[in-house]
């Protein structure tokens, strides 16, 4: 998952002048024209046919000018032209579209960004801690309870410790390979677009009967300037993770069944995991002899189960909510119509949680609220996404439904 830290009040769903300034008459400002206003009008010459304008001031942001009208410049190059003209005047431009009008927002200075700097050893330390917690959980899945790990460490028995690692590492390394590749997909795509991003933060979870991790996250420190950047950064993570997860799932199905049973899962009356259509199809190709796939994945080799979890987490990240990966992709594809989609998705998650009895969906609905259900518009909200990205995006929507399991865990009645 990627979380943005770069958005300020100036990039909320309403333009700043709409939300805080008193109404103004189209074509006029709320006070006498000033020098900056005149300069900005000249900068918009040939880019926007001005039909209305407003001026406002926000604390911690500064002076803001909003111009509405008809876009004259090509959508592909309009924002670059605006930046070239407006930046030297000491303003940061945003190009939006509201109610069929083009809207240029000129914000005084550079938009403030949160300083988020962490030393490399923090990332490494979290990764090592997560390797330990996921290894302990991986061993518990094949019947070695977490207490065995501490007993082995206290005894100082190197051979016993190696045996323990052989039980836990297949699950741990498979899961972390998928999560790590997912986050590095975001990282590489962000750097290619000139976006400042952090290295991945892995989140250990030393809690029994869990995965041993809450996943990983990177923070986006500078704005995603247009829909293409939103699309590429948002989608690179899930696709990269799937490229690793699907082959590992197929390989795990062909490996010998692990010795031991996931007693903690069985005690919670979980004896099956639901395989979505794509995983069902892979199983038919690589392991057609396997019967009761939903039971085999849980009781088979830990690599298959870890990859199954990797696919599940990918589907969850593709939910079209706010700052989720799916939220980035949905806004890139549908613009502000993605806000309606986010509200529908949130409602469905609540219903699945309360009516369907799947508590997991309530957790993800809550996380959607924390990140904000509405994805903020990028600085350039008018640059076309392009045919190739649109096709890939629509294909990703299909993939999302092929890897989604509405009820991931269950026990047959």
Instruction: List, in order of start, the domains of the chain with CATH numbers.
Output: 11-108 (3.30.980), 120-410 (no CATH)
Q: In angstroms, rounded to a whole number, what is the distance separating the alpha carbons of residues 174 and 301? A: 11
Task: Tell me whether residue 373 is exposed, middle or buried, using C-beta atoms within 10 angstroms of its C-beta: 0 to 12, 13 to 18, 19 or more.
Answer: buried
pLDDT given for residue 261 in this prediction: 65
Residue with tokens 């199983």: 283
pLDDT given for residue 112 in this prediction: 63
Encoding tokens for residue 350?
Answer: 């609540």
pLDDT given for residue 399 in this prediction: 96
Residue with tokens 């309870």: 145
Q: In angstroms, rounded to a whole number, what is the distance separating the alpha carbons of residues 327 and 92? A: 25
pLDDT given for residue 92 in this prediction: 92
Contacts of 257 (CB under 8 A, 6+ apart): 299, 300, 301
pLDDT given for residue 173 in this prediction: 96
Q: SS3 for 7?
A: coil
246-300 pLDDT per residue, tens: 999 999 999 987 766 666 676 667 778 889 999 999 999 999 988 788 888 888 8
Q: What angle do CA 131, 364, 273 make, to 5 degrees?
A: 65
pLDDT given for residue 189 in this prediction: 96
Contacts of 10 (CB under 8 A, 6+ apart): 16, 58, 61, 64, 94, 105, 107, 111
pLDDT given for residue 12 in this prediction: 42
Nearest to 232 by CA among 193, 183, 182, 197: 193
Q: Where are the beta strands (DSSP E) in 62-192?
A: 62-71, 91-98, 101-108
Q: In angstroms, rounded to a whole number, what is the distance separating the alpha carbons of residues 328 and 322? A: 7
**Rg, C-alpha atoms of the chain:** 25
* 3-class SS shares of the chain: helix, strand, coil, % to 5: 55, 15, 30
Nearest to 217 by CA among 367, 402, 335: 367
Q: In angstroms, rounded to a whole number, what is the distance separating the alpha carbons of residues 396 and 300? A: 29
pLDDT given for residue 150 in this prediction: 75
Encoding tokens for residue 330?
Answer: 């949905």
Which parts of the chain register pLDDT below 70?
Answer: 1-33, 112-114, 259-264, 266-268, 411-413
| Residue 272 host element (H or E) | strand 272-273
Cα dihedral: 283, 286, 289, 291 (round 10): -20
**Residue 334 burial (CB count, 10 A):** 15
pLDDT given for residue 14 in this prediction: 40
Q: Which residues of 26-51 are buried (b: 16+ CB within 10 A; e: fewer)?
A: eeebeeeeeebbebbeebbeebbebe
pLDDT given for residue 20 in this prediction: 37
Encoding tokens for residue 317?
Answer: 């990240």
Look at strands 2-4 and 62-71 and give their pairing. unpaired
């Amino acid at each position: 998952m990627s979380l943005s830290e770069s958005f300020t009040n100036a990039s909320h769903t309403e333009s700043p002048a709409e939300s805080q300034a008193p109404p103004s008459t189209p074509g006029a400002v709320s006070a006498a024209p000033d020098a900056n206003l005149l300069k900005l009008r000249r900068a918009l010459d040939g880019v926007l046919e001005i039909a209305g304008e407003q001026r406002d001031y926000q604390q911690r942001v500064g002076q803001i000018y909003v111009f509405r009208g008809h876009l004259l410049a090509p959508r592909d190059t309009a924002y670059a032209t605006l930046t070239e003209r407006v930046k030297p005047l000491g303003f940061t431009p945003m190009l939006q579209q509201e109610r069929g009008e083009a809207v240029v927002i000129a914000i005084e200075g550079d938009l403030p960004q949160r300083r988020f700097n962490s030393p490399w050893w923090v990332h490494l330390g979290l990764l090592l801690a997560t390797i330990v917690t996921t290894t302990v959980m991986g061993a518990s899945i094949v019947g070695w309870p977490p207490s065995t790990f501490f007993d082995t460490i206290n005894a100082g028995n190197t051979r016993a410790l190696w045996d323990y690692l052989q039980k836990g590492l297949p699950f741990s390394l498979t899961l972390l390979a998928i999560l790590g590749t997912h986050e590095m997909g975001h990282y590489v795509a962000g750097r290619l677009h000139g976006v400042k991003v952090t290295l991945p933060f892995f989140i250990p979870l030393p809690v029994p009967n869990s995965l041993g991790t809450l996943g990983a996250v990177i923070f986006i420190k500078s704005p995603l300037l247009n829909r293409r950047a939103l699309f590429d950064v948002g989608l690179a993570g899930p696709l990269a993770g799937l490229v690793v997860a699907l082959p590992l799932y197929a390989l795990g199905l062909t490996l010998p069944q692990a010795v031991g049973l996931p007693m903690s899962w069985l005690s919670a009356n979980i004896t099956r995991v639901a395989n979505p259509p794509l995983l069902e199809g892979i199983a038919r190709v690589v392991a057609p002899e396997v019967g009761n796939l939903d039971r085999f994945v849980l009781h088979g080799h830990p690599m298959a189960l870890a990859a199954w979890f990797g696919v599940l987490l990918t589907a969850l990240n593709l939910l079209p909510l706010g700052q989720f990966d799916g939220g980035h992709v949905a806004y890139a594809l549908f613009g502000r119509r993605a806000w309606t989609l986010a509200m529908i998705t949130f409602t469905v998650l609540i219903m699945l949680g309360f009516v369907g009895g799947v508590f997991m969906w309530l957790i993800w609905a809550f996380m959607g609220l924390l990140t904000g259900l509405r994805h903020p518009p990028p600085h350039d909200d008018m640059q076309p996404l392009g045919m190739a990205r649109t096709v890939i995006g629509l294909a990703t929507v299909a993939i999302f439904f092929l890897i989604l399991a509405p009820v991931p865990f269950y026990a047959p009645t």
